[in-house]
């Protein structure tokens, strides 16, 4: 089975393929499916934005489309940046600029607890929809650590492993991450949907 990923993020595409390939599912990019869809993320929840993206790419490509909407929710910042994680601080910031702004906004703040949230939505041309959610608790580090991952990974610290997401191997990260958990839940729901269980 082939799913089109409703995202231009190559690292997200790689991560999804690593996890879903065990099911015999290939996740391809929008470009591979011959579409280029810009979706305005107007939702106020991860579920709403994930659905907007999956539905738009499914309608454009005519193929089942999978979307992930994820973000970092920091307790001391009342859940911010949340659904605005990718746009935190405005247009001009890259990943490094966003996590530096987060560290600046966290200065003197307690607690430093946070969670990554991922909502996966798959829309099928027949109208069926599968939605799955995953969360990973952690804390905000005082400084970036590690070279791996993307986004806020260098400042998201997992106390049980004493490492940030950026210090984990992709296997370690996939085993505990919000996206890994959401994809695990999605995998079970998809197997049921396809009648494999």
What pLDDT, on a 0 to 100 scale, did the predictor assign at position 142?
A: 97
What pLDDT, on a 0 to 100 scale, did the predictor assign at position 170?
A: 87
Contact 170, 148 (CB under 8 A): yes
In the chain the domains, ranked by start, together with CATH numbers, are 2-193 (3.90.950.10)
Give per-residue pLDDT as tens, 79-106.
999 999 999 999 899 999 999 999 999 9
Contact 196, 177 (CB under 8 A): no
Q: 32, 68, 69, 185: which one is catalytic?
A: 69
Instruction: Work out the average pLDDT over 132-147.
Output: 97
- The whole-model pTM stands at 0.91
67 alpha carbon, distance to own chain's centre: 9
Answer whether residue 164 shows pLDDT above 60.
yes
- Under DSSP, the state recorded for 147 is S
Q: Known catalytic residue: 69?
A: yes
């Amino acid at each position: 089975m082939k799913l089109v990923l409703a995202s231009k993020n190559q690292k997200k595409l790689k991560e999804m393929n690593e996890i879903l390939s065990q099911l015999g599912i290939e996740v391809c990019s929008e470009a591979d499916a011959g579409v280029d869809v810009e979706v305005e993320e107007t939702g106020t929840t991860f579920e709403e934005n994930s659905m907007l993206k999956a539905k738009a790419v499914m309608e454009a490509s005519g193929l089942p489309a999978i979307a992930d909407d994820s973000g970092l929710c920091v307790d001391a910042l009342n859940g911010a940046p949340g659904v605005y994680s990718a746009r935190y601080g405005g247009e001009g910031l890259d990943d490094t600029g966003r996590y530096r702004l987060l560290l600046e906004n966290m200065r003197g703040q307690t607690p430093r607890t946070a969670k990554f949230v991922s909502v996966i939505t798959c829309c099928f041309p027949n109208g069926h929809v599968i939605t799955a959610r995953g969360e990973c608790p952690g804390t905000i580090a005082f400084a970036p650590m590690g070279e791996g991952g993307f986004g806020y990974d260098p400042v998201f610290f997992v106390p049980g492993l004493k490492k940030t997401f950026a210090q984990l191997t992709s296997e370690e990260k996939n085993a505990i991450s919000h996206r890994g958990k959401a994809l695990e839940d999605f995998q079970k729901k998809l197997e049921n949907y396809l009648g494999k269980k």
